[in-house]
Structure 1
Amino acid sequence: MKKLTLLAVIISSIMIQGCVHKLVTVPTKIAYKTTKGVVKGTVAVGKAIIPGGDDDEDDKKDKD
């Protein structure tokens, strides 16, 4: 009887490992993608607000 209980506990713990992995990784991926989008949006807004534009384009025109 004790062997059967031990076997059931081992099998259950192995099956639950997949669920625990999903519970940790899925919210992390969502948070990463959300933060990445917010940062990109902030950079775009910052570039639009700051006067003077992109200096790289001006440098290329001066060299030609």
Structure 2
Amino acid sequence: MIRTIVKAKKNYLTIPLPNEYVGKQLEVIAFMLEDEADVPQKEIQKATFDAVSLDTSGFKFNREEANER
């Protein structure tokens, strides 16, 4: 599936398609989005990883032990 948002500069639009779409039946839907000024922008939240706290001060990584089968 391909989803893209474009701003048309003329009254026609060319969409490049992957090779696996050639010869297949496709559905194309075009509709206007709300004006950019009217759409509230979502704030990007940074991921926090503070749910688990581990004390790793005495830990030493052993590559051989990690790769044992």
Interval of TM-score (by shorter of Structure 1 and Structure 2) = under 0.3
Higher relative contact order (CA 8 A, sep 6+): 1
Q: Which has the higher helix share?
A: 1
Structure number with greater Rg is: 1
TM-score (norm 1): 0.25
TM-score (norm 2): 0.24
